[in-house]
Structure 1
Amino acid sequence: MQDSLLAKQEIKARATAFRQQQSISTEAGASKENVKKNRYKDILPYDQTRVVLNLLTEEGQTDYINANFIQGVDNKRCYIATQGPLRHTVLDFWRMVWQYKVKVIVMACREVEMGKKNVSFYWPLTDERLCTLDPSP
């Protein structure tokens, strides 16, 4: 447990130093209107590489999702890394998938970890092939 805490503190310190050295900001994710869209308050996308949503479906919706582009071997934006959707960000997740024509989705976490729900369902819960999304919170 102590080692885990020290490792987390070390990662946090290195991340802060990296952001300062590279002049990287996380202002969009920290803004008042977007903070509720982050699973964790200290894991925010870098403004310089964040995914911007253009497909706004309703008044007052922001272009924010907690996601960053990742470069491939040819230095082009090839991948997107994002947090598992929250109940109220599933629609944002699918807006991103649609807008950027995502072909493959890989979930690298469990639905539940250590007794805590880690991701909201963003796939059909039955054998049916349709998943209906409701934009209401």
Structure 2
Amino acid sequence: MLRIVQEGLTNVTKHARPGARTVAQVDVRDRAVHVLVTDDGGGGTGNAPELAYLGSPPGHGLTGLGERVGLLGGTVSAGPVGSGWRLAVELPLDGDTASASLVRALEEPTAADAHRPSPATASAPR
């Protein structure tokens, strides 16, 4: 769950304007874990922080997240809502191996990981 919330908050940091209100929720109901990260896009007239990332390679966070969650039979929904953004993830809690499978799927590399620069070669935003 940490990696899912982390991805949602990373996207807020990169794309929302200063002053954005962000809500992260983790809920267990209906035999599933539900994670929701939303932001309102922020107020004001300043540029969105994503402009500072123009020289950086595009990320693959949502792609990798979708692959990992899909391995567990879960779903990922991400997209704009009003002037903000919404990331919603549902992971089923079926059987005794759900926890072990969840940890394994969230930690194993995916195809999207192959496109990420290593920490030693990645450039930090300026």
Both proteins in one fold, TM over 0.5: no
Higher normalized helix content (fraction of residues): 2
Q: TM-score, normalised by structure 1?
A: 0.25
| Greater RCO, 1 or 2 (C-alpha within 8 Å, sep 6+) | 2
Relative to the length of structure 2, the TM-score reads 0.27
Higher strand share: 2
Q: Which structure is larger by alpha-carbon Rg, 1 or 2? A: 1
